[in-house]
Structure 1
Amino acid sequence: MKIQKSAEDYLETILVLFQRNGSVHAVDIANELEFSKPSVSVAMKNLRENGYIAVDRNNEITLTDAGKKIAETIYERHTLLSSWLQTLGVSAETAAEDACRMEHVISAESFAAIKRHAEAGNPKSEKK
């Protein structure tokens, strides 16, 4: 399913915050993305209604299976593209910014090819 870039960014942020802190609340997302709390609240409502997140009675946000799949895909793209660009000589800051844009538009086919190429050049990155 194709979702908007902003939704992918929110899901990726929830994944990263959960990995970092063990729990996620709307205020954490607002602080991480430097967005207003009302904007994050609207986005969380939309993500919840579309089945990508769940919010418990303590307002803790968790990814559903569908949300986690998207978040992991976007995060993998971001980390691999950022790292790959840096190996090509791009500064860490520029690589991260470019990867953030590229992660949303690159096709699965092109990403798989870049991933194969990056892993062939760096045996340490092979996980499987």
Structure 2
Amino acid sequence: MAEEKVTRRNEDLLEVIYEISMEKGYAKSRDIAAALSITPATVTDGFKRLQDAGLVNYEPYGGVTLTVEGRDIAERTKQSHTILRNLLELAGVDTDVADHDACIMEHGLSPESYDKLMKVVAFIEECCKKPALKKLFDTMVREESG
């Protein structure tokens, strides 16, 4: 399975291809290079690796699209990022720091950990809908931070 061979860099490429494609309907190397602050040549090399792994369809001087497997990996990576960022924000971490840290942590998260974290975040968010529990939770987070 190609997912087992996907590196952090490739996951980042897949995730950005996915995000740009969802926004514009397609992704070009210059857009991806700008989003990741890397050179277009580095993006093109990445496209070739991803195509060899069966994760993208790439036409030189054209756009790139995700295969079904590439889209699955991109969606899971993005969802892992979102869950981790939400968990960090719930713990009182500043949004920018939480986003940066989630980007580091999202790679290599096992399916088991991903599933468990999804449930923990959903539970905390549900508990925080109750004013008394939200107040208790906020007090605990402030005590830990201060």
Displacement after TM superposition at 1:96 (Å) = 0.7
Q: Does 2:58 align with 1:55? A: yes
Task: Identify the range of structure 1 (26-35 vs 114-123) with the bigger mean alpha-carbon deviation.
Answer: 114-123
Q: Aligned residue for 2:88?
A: 85
Alignment gaps of 5+ in structure 1: 124-128
Q: Aligned residue for 1:119?
A: 122
- Size of the aligned set, in residue pairs, is 123
CA distance in 2, matches of 1:65, 1:57: 20
CA distance in 2, matches of 1:68, 1:107: 18
8 Å CA contact 2:48–2:58 kept in 1: the answer is no
Displacement after TM superposition at 1:108 (Å) = 1.6
CA RMSD of aligned residues (A): 1.4
- Equivalent position to 1:108, from 103, 108, 111: 111
* TM-score (normalizing by structure 1): 0.89
Alignment gaps of 5+ in structure 2: 127-146
- Which amino acid counterpart does residue 14 of structure 1 have in structure 2? I
* TM-score (normalizing by structure 2): 0.79
Identity fraction in percent: 30
CA distance in 1, matches of 2:72, 2:103: 17
CA distance in 1, matches of 2:53, 2:118: 30
8 Å CA contact 2:86–2:121 kept in 1: the answer is no
